Amino acid sequence: MMEARAGTASVVHKTRSVQAGATVVGVHFLGATANFVLGEESLLSVPRGGEPRPIAIHAGAILSSAADERRIVTGADDGKVMATGADGAGAVIATDPRQRWIDHVAIGPGGALAWSAGKQVFAHSAGGNERMLEAPSTVGGLAFAPKGMRLAVAHYNGVTLWFPNAQTEAQLLAWKGSHLGVMLSPDGRFLVTSMQEPTLHGWRLSDGKDMRMSGYAARVRSFAFTADGKSLATSGANQLVLWPFQGKDGPMGKAPAMLAPAQSTVEVVAPHPRDAIVAAGYADGLILLVRLADGAEILAREPASSPVTALAWNASGSMLAFGVENGEAGIIDLS
């Protein structure tokens, strides 16, 4: 059972420390191997019980990453989209002919891929077909719907919903402002974006109804749905913010739950893949595991001087990997 922070509940002693040697901008598990995405050029692959292994994949800054159970896909300022498998072998998915930065990548159902360079979005189906969409402005974020080949493209003044395999017109969901990250709910009923200002915006896709989620002290840089889709966990405040999505109206007219208050701002959130638990990483290096049913907490990392920049669970939820801005990292084995 999880206990309150004032008690003794802690899993800090279960941490395997890793020196990444550079800012960790992402982390993904392939099986039991944690792969830390570094800000420049490389991944650091750390097998369970094995030695860390650096894997050079780009000739520049890594700007984006996504993963499924087979591979990690990265985009960088060298204009390349790369896929790295569990064996460390890399393959070039695409090279931008103008060597533009690959700002965003996304992996969809059935192995579909998408990436963006400037205003252009490229979608690559599992069958090998590739399509291109010209967005109204520079792309702020990409996300696939949970089912089917449907892609959400965030940009200035809204989101474009695009079916790359269909001949139908793309659908624009309009809302003024700069939309950055984008995500669809696990049931496909809602779409949410983070914005340049400290707020989230959402749409109910059945009728296009707008949803405003505001009240943040800082821009929301990390947000994710819980495994059951009932809550949206977000950063942007000095506590974990959870918006309710279990009803037909989502968070419309409802206040969020606020859990795990701390001295600094939540920077990264990572919901457990099976249970109603969220890992929250703070600007002072603190990491807490928070049980949503009652707000109970377990200490996963003591506060330190540098912000948490990446968090990820393995598929079963028995391991949690984290990365920190100053190059520190770790893997917590909860099994």
**Predicted confidence band at 2 (pLDDT cuts at 50, 70, 90)?**
very low
Residue 95 C-beta-side C-alpha neighbours within 13 Å: 6
b/e code 78-95 from CB counts within 10 Å (16+ = b): bbbbbbbebeeebeebbe
Give how far Cα 255 sits from Cα of 169, 182, 241, 242, 243, Å. 36, 21, 10, 9, 7
The predicted model scores a pTM of: 0.95
Residue 5: is its pLDDT beyond 70?
Answer: no
Mean per-residue pLDDT, 193-215: 95
Give how far Cα 174 sits from Cα of 116, 160, 198, 219, Å. 20, 8, 18, 20
Please check whether residue 266 is in contact with residue 307, taking contact to mean a CB–CB distance below 8 angstroms: no
pLDDT, residue 3, reads 37
pLDDT, residue 4, reads 38
Q: Could you tell me the domains of the chain?
A: 29-297 (2.130.10.10)
